[in-house]
């Protein structure tokens, strides 16, 4: 499961999501049970009106948490799940001053930054901003991260101990890793990684790296779960994925021997992709809207992301999912893909041009 959190942008049309990010099987009944175990015990909130939340994050994913907020605080909350985050941001932009939206909950920073540039986001109060370390929120205080996903190299520590692994993601094109690596080129999370490379090292270098992967006999898989399973069965030694796939599969099957390896924090192989939330300038009751955003970065909601969606918490003190190290210890740079603007979408074509087929 997971294009849902994997996706910064790509897929707003149903099955396309599978193309760009969908993964085959995954998740478990247990995971679902966890959803009900997180009980935030919120105090009732006095509010006159309704709170309208535009969510670019999937109902399957964040629905239970938002419903819990509504039922425990008594706030009348309307949640609009409108497809992909970038399209929602554009809709809010077109709505202008008359927008019914109070809060925008985005899968990635790009759509938030777009609205920020248009002056559509309120500055959040310090009580919210102070909860989240600087690197996981907007410099101007217009949005805060709500959860994080990290790019990793999955491997079997018995078969390929950490000291035999490449020091940098760029080493994967070296001869010693020929035919040993698996990737999912059509997956949104891989595309986010490549988009980040385009910003960090430029188009030409990115292309050279992708072609290097092709020349090094990289194996391609339809999704990240297939990569983890291929590593587990010994078909390949390592694969590039987001961190939560191993955690999801471990939750289903304890005998899984595959684990996450984090590249050094300064390496582009270890970027962090965050989801974030903001209060819109059209919020009827900015205080209520801020309270809701504050709830998303509260310890309880953060525990929900860790336990249920197996993402990293963005606030200090909340244990990471599984046996992972905390985000600040594993994570590299927070990827702000907004810089690519509309060119962002061309990443899939760049990947195809390099000869990678998935």
Residues lying near another protein in the complex (CB under 8 A) are found at: 1-4, 7, 11-19, 21-29, 31-32, 35, 52, 58-61, 63-64, 78-83, 86-87, 89-91, 93-100, 110-111, 114, 222-223, 341-342, 344-346, 348-349, 352, 357
Indicate the DSSP class of residue 173. G
Q: How far is the CB of 87 from another protein (least distance, A)?
A: 6
Q: How far is the CB of 229 from another protein (least distance, A)?
A: 11
The smaller minimum CB distance to another protein, of residues 97 and 126, is found at: 97
Give least dist CB 94 to another protein, A: 5
The residue (of 132 and 138) whose beta carbon lies closer to another protein is 138
What ranges make up the beta strands (E) of the chain?
50-55, 76-81, 103-106, 144-155, 181-183, 219-220, 238-242, 259-261, 272-279
CA angle 185, 144, 308 (to 5 degrees): 60
- Smallest gap from Cβ 232 to another protein, in A, equals 15
For the bound state, the minimum distance from the C-beta of residue 303 to another protein, rounded and expressed in Å, comes to 19
Give the three-class secondary structure for 7: coil
Q: How many residues does the chain have?
A: 358
In terms of CB distance, is 131 or 224 closer to another protein?
A: 224
Q: Which is nearer to another protein, 7 or 315 (CB)?
A: 7
* Identity of the residue, 13 or 167, whose beta carbon is nearer to another protein in the bound complex: 13
The CA distance from 233 to 110, in Å, is 37
Are 171 and 180 contacting, i.e. CB atoms less than 8 angstroms apart? no
Cα gap 257→10, rounded to integer Å: 32
């Amino acid at each position: 499961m997971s294009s849902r959190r994997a996706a910064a942008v790509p897929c707003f049309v149903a099955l396309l999501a599978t193309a760009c990010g969908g993964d085959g099987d995954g998740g478990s009944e247990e995971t679902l049970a966890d959803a009900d175990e997180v009980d935030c015990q919120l105090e009732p909130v006095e509010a006159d009106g309704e709170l309208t939340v535009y969510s670019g994050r999937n109902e399957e994913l964040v629905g239970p948490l938002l419903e819990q907020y509504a039922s425990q605080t008594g706030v009348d909350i309307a949640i609009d799940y409108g497809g992909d985050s970038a399209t929602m941001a554009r809709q809010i932009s077109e709505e202008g001053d008359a927008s019914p939206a109070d809060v925008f909950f985005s899968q990635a920073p790009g759509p938030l930054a777009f609205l920020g540039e248009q002056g559509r986001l309120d500055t959040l109060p310090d009580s919210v901003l102070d909860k989240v370390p600087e690197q996981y929120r907007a410099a101007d205080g217009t949005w805060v991260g709500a959860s994080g996903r990290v790019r990793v190299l999955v491997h079997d520590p018995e078969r390929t101990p950490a000291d035999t692994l490449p020091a940098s993601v760029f080493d994967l094109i070296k001869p010693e890793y020929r035919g040993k690596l698996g990737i999912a080129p059509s997956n949104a999370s891989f595309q986010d990684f490549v988009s980040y490379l385009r910003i960090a090292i430029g188009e030409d270098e990115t292309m050279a790296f992708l072609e290097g992967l092709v020349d090094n006999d990289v194996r391609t898989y339809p999704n990240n779960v297939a990569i983890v399973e291929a590593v587990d069965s010994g078909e390949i030694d390592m694969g590039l994925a987001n961190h939560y796939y191993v955690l999801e599969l471990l939750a289903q099957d304890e005998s899984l021997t595959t684990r996450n390896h984090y590249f050094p924090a300064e390496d582009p192989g270890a970027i962090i992709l965050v989801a974030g939330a903001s209060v819109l300038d059209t919020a009827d009751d900015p205080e209520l809207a801020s309270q809701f955003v504050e709830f998303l970065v509260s310890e309880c909601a953060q525990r929900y992301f860790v336990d249920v969606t197996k993402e990293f918490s963005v606030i200090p003190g909340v244990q990471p999912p599984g046996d992972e190290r905390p985000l600040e210890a594993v994570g590299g740079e927070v990827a702000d893909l907004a810089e690519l603007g509309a060119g962002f979408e061309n990443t899939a074509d760049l990947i195809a041009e390099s000869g990678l087929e998935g």
